[in-house]
Structure 1
Amino acid sequence: MAGHILSIGECMVELMQAGDGLLKKGYAGDTFNTAYYVRLFLPETITVDYFTAVGDETVSEEMLAFMAGTGVSTRHIRRIAGRMPGLYMIHLKNGERSFSYWRSTSAAKCLADDADALRAAIDSADTIVVTGVTLAILSETAVETLLAELRRAKAAGRTVVFDPNIRPRLWSDKTRMLATISDGARAATLVMPSFDDEATHFGDATVADTIARYRSLGVENIVVKDGANGATVAFGAAAPVLVPAAKPTAIVDTTSAGDSFNGAFLAHLTQHGDPQGAAAFAARVASAVIAHHGALIEKALLPA
């Protein structure tokens, strides 16, 4: 994996619990969370870009300023008049999270409507990151536009990373959801699924089943995340290897556990080219993230 990394998707306004009935505002979303953690662990010589669409109002301006402040480049982000970012609220119970969403006018739903802008962003990158959420929020036409560009990038030798991140509430029906997730995987060189999602929605009985199914779709490299059971790394022709999970000091908020794993994994892999070492590092980062509130945790609270 080389240089420039591009993450594509939706960043939203995040409202999280702050105690005494108060809420704290932040900005997050699965692909931006991944970009944030990639940026934390890479040298400044490697560019990390985010591609989405935002509106032309105050909240969008604040979001762009926040992104730039994290070191994630916003140069490819589109502005759409009359739209604004979506919003979600985190609800916590014993460390597990659920969400309420407000995203009917989200500008990010239009991120792939300008095919030329999308192609220019993808052509600028060596590694492209997308998720099932990215695909779920787009129109069917826009999904095909994005998938066509990802297939083109894969054919050109770029690394295309896909996390299925299956969220049924975002899809019109299960058949389309599973078919589109599979198409996303076919366009990827590295797939990073969560086993509980795969078992629930694809019916996989074991991690080996998940690996075999994605292999059958032409995916060369696979990392299956399985919570406290660890992550299984299946790269190229090598036999799958189970990398143990890291035990957290506490489970406060599991928001962004998978996203932080993805970001830390990609950052380590980009620098060292060692998928097993990357998975071990990512496990340590994810365990630290879930010991704190919110999706984006400052670097001082994370392992080096």
Structure 2
Amino acid sequence: MAGRVLSIGECMVELSQAEGGLLRQGFAGDSFNTAYYLRAFLPQAQPVDYFTAVGTDPVSDAMLAFIEGTGVGTSFIRRVPERTPGLYMIHLKDGERSFSYWRSASAARLLADDANALHTAIEASETIFFSGITLAILAPPAVETLLAEIGRARDAGKLVAFDPNIRPRLWADADAMRRTISAAASAATMVMPSFEDEAAHFGDASIAATVARYRALGIEKLVVKDGVNGITLSFDGRTSFVPSVAAEAVVDTTGAGDSFNGAFLAAYLETGDERRAAEFAARVAATVIGHHGALLARSELQILADV
């Protein structure tokens, strides 16, 4: 599928562990990570853009320069005075990660406040990606604005992909979280949940229960990720399973799901084959978790693309 791809959400300053107890600064965030991998694996002639809001401070300037340097378009990114990017720190233990966040003054919290800018970006795109984190950082009126635009894109025949990416600490109320996630899924054409999250927060006893719940919301394209247990695909009434790919070493699981999402969407847009897309995405994710940080170097990604 040709046409512009748009990812909507929050890019943050990332602090990760470096040698000698020092910290390494980068820029990352689930929706931007997905855009990064989409850009890496789609033809260069196909635009991949990011929609967010940043401040007018030097850190925001550096973030925009970084995004542009990856090849992801920034023309739809808004600048908001007196706001800054959010920041998070990665804590690692045996390859598994946890996070500390500082994002109360994040400009991205206002990304949907300009409804005209949001409409323009979505109208110019054929494929749109967003996540539960995108929704969790917004005020309720902004969530309504975003979901209304997402729903219009779906009704216009665009591919709208949604990863629930449930982070309960970002939500004030668990019931509101579940309602909003379900409403967002209903506005999408493809949902890409993690079974671990769905079991923990929706009480699903099995992957079949997750598939049934989302299909009851009208979702015809489902990509259910279950870590080392593999991927279950439910597309237009067809259900299939793709095994995971074993990682040579688990160094840092940050960005595993985001790299899977970006690689899957890129391959699916190119081939229309969900199984081939899942097989490719599983290889990418297994490689990403063998490195520090959310974004694997382009040289490593090129090797994967050539396989």
Query: TM-score category by the smaller chain?
Result: over 0.9
Shift in Å, 1:43: 1.0
**Separation (CA, whole Å) in 2 of partners of 1:18 and 1:123:** 41
Q: 1:4 Cα shift?
A: 1.1
Residue 294 of structure 1 is matched in structure 2 by 293
- CA–CA distance in 2 between the matches of 1:55 and 1:45? 29
What RMSD in Å do the two structures reach over aligned CA positions?
Answer: 0.6
DSSP-derived class of the 1:24 partner: strand
1:276-303 deviations in Å (ceiling 9; x for gaps) = 0000000000000000000000132231
Q: CA deviation at 1:218?
A: 0.8
- In the TM superposition, what are the counterparts of 1:91-106 in structure 2 within 5 Å? 91-106=91-106
Q: Deviations over 1:211-239 (max 9, x none)?
A: 1100001111000000001111111122x
Q: Is 1:207–2:210 an aligned residue pair? A: no
Distance 1:211 1:285 in 2: 24
Equivalences for residues 143-292 of structure 1 within 5 A: 143-238=143-238, 240-292=239-291
1:3 correspondence with 2:19: no
Partner of 1:18: 18
Partner in structure 2 of residue 37 of structure 1: 37
Deviations 1:158-193, CA, capped at 9 Å, x for gaps: 011000000000001100000000001000000000
Counterpart code for 2:259: S
SS in structure 2 of the partner of residue 20 of structure 1:
helix
TM-score normalised by L of structure 2: 0.98
Structure 1 unaligned blocks of 5 or more: none
CA distance in structure 2 between the partners assigned to 1:32 and 1:284 by the alignment: 20
Deviations 1:94-127 (CA, angstroms, capped at 9, x unpaired) = 0000000000100000000000000000000000
Q: Which residue does 2:126 correspond to in 1?
A: 126
Shift of 1:44: 1.0
Write out per-residue CA displacement over residues 229-275 of structure 1, whole angstroms, 9 at most, x where no aligned residue: 1111111122x111000010100000000000000001101111110
Report the alpha carbon displacement of residue 199 of structure 1 after superposing the two structures with TM. 0.4
Q: In the alignment, which residue of structure 2 is the partner of 1:88?
A: 88
Report the TM-score, using the length of structure 1 for normalisation: 0.99
How many Å separate the matches in 2 of 1:54 and 1:117?
A: 14
> CA–CA distance in 2 between the matches of 1:122 and 1:300?
31
Query: Does the Cα contact within 8 Å between 1:86 and 1:104 map onto a contact in 2?
Result: yes
Q: Which amino acid aligns with 2:180?
A: T
- Equivalents in 2 of 1:124, 1:231: separation in Å? 31
Secondary structure, in 3 states, of the residue corresponding to 2:56?
A: coil
Secondary structure of the 2:161 match is strand
Q: CA deviation at 1:2?
A: 3.0
What is the CA–CA distance in structure 1 between the aligned matches of 2:7 and 2:103, rounded to whole Å? 20
Q: How far is the alpha carbon of 1:152 from its aligned partner?
A: 0.6
1:222 aligned counterpart, secondary structure: strand
For the residue of structure 1 that corresponds to 2:49, the secondary structure is strand
Task: For residue 97 of structure 1, give the secondary structure of its aligned residue in structure 2.
Answer: strand
In 1, Cα distance between the equivalents of 2:156 and 2:300?
A: 38
What is the count of residue pairs matched by the alignment?
Answer: 303
Task: State how far apart, in whole Å, the 1-side matches of 2:287 and 2:300 are.
Answer: 7
> What SS class does the counterpart of residue 19 from structure 2 fall into?
coil
1:3, distance to aligned residue in structure 2 (A): 2.1
Report the 3-state secondary structure (helix = DSSP H, G, I; strand = E; otherwise coil) of the residue aligned with 1:83: coil
Q: Check conservation: 1:3, 1:270, Cα contact below 8 A.
A: no
Q: Distance in 1 between matches of 2:153 and 2:98?
A: 35
Q: Aligned partners of 1:82 and 1:35: how far apart in 2?
A: 26
State the identity as a percent. Answer: 64
Q: Which runs of 5+ in 2 are unaligned?
A: none
**What is the rounded CA distance, in whole Å, between the counterparts of 2:300 and 2:81 in structure 1?**
38
Residue type at the aligned position of 2:53: A
- Aligned residue number for residue 67 of structure 2: 67
8 Å Cα contact 1:126-1:158 kept in structure 2: yes
- Which position in structure 2 is the counterpart of 1:115? 115
Inter-partner Cα distance in structure 1 for 2:237 and 2:15: 44
The one-letter code of the counterpart of 2:276 is G
Q: Using the alignment, how far apart are the partners of 1:123 and 1:103 within structure 2?
A: 29
Determine the C-alpha separation between the residues in 2 that align with 1:75 and 1:68.
10
Could you tell me which amino acid in structure 2 is paired with residue 214 of structure 1?
Answer: Y
